[in-house]
Structure 1
Amino acid sequence: MSEFRITLVPGVCGGRPTIRGLRVAVADVLELLAGGMTTEEILTDYPYLEREDIAACLDFAARQARREELPIRRDAA
């Protein structure tokens, strides 16, 4: 899995963590999973996402729960 699938870009999704700078917030993907959607359903609804993006969101959540640092690319606006 790429280290930099999770990005912080000022002006994109209110500066919240997103997937590869796209306007898809990590929290939104996690909420879809928590609501019962499968990875396949999410990939069907968001065809520009990749399976590795979903895995990166789960990894991000796990690291946040453990309060571990995660490599995040920070882009200038």
Structure 2
Amino acid sequence: MDAKQQELLNRITIKSGLMGGRPTVRSLRFPVSDILELLASGLTEAEILEQHPILEQLDIQAALLYASMKVKNTAVIYAA
């Protein structure tokens, strides 16, 4: 994993008391799965960012990278 990928993954947080421990973006109450569902529904990045101003473009990239790594069954390690 290169430095850019690690920087993106640092945007994904998992906290037991937040959203039931589901992966979220930057400790916000915005789950990674919601970003993926918005993309799957056909919304563009621009549309998502317009509808959800709390998000940043890098958050969407981070969600996609995280999902890709989970599908590949790659270990993602978080340092607290």
Question: Scaled by the length of structure 2, what TM-score is found?
Answer: 0.83
Percent of aligned pairs with the same amino acid = 43
Q: Point out which structure has higher relative CO (alpha carbons under 8 A, 6+ apart).
A: 1
Once the 2 structures are TM-superposed, how far is the Cα of residue 24 of structure 1 from its aligned partner? Answer: 0.2
Question: Scaled by the length of structure 1, what TM-score is found?
Answer: 0.86
Structure 1 residue ranges without an equivalent (≥5) = none
Structure 2 residue ranges without an equivalent (≥5) = none
In structure 2, the residue matched to 1:47 is: 53
The runs of at least 4 consecutive aligned structure 1 residues that moved more than 2 Å come to 70-74
Greater helix percent: which structure? 2
Superposition RMSD on alpha carbons, in Å?
1.5
Paired amino acid for 1:40: A
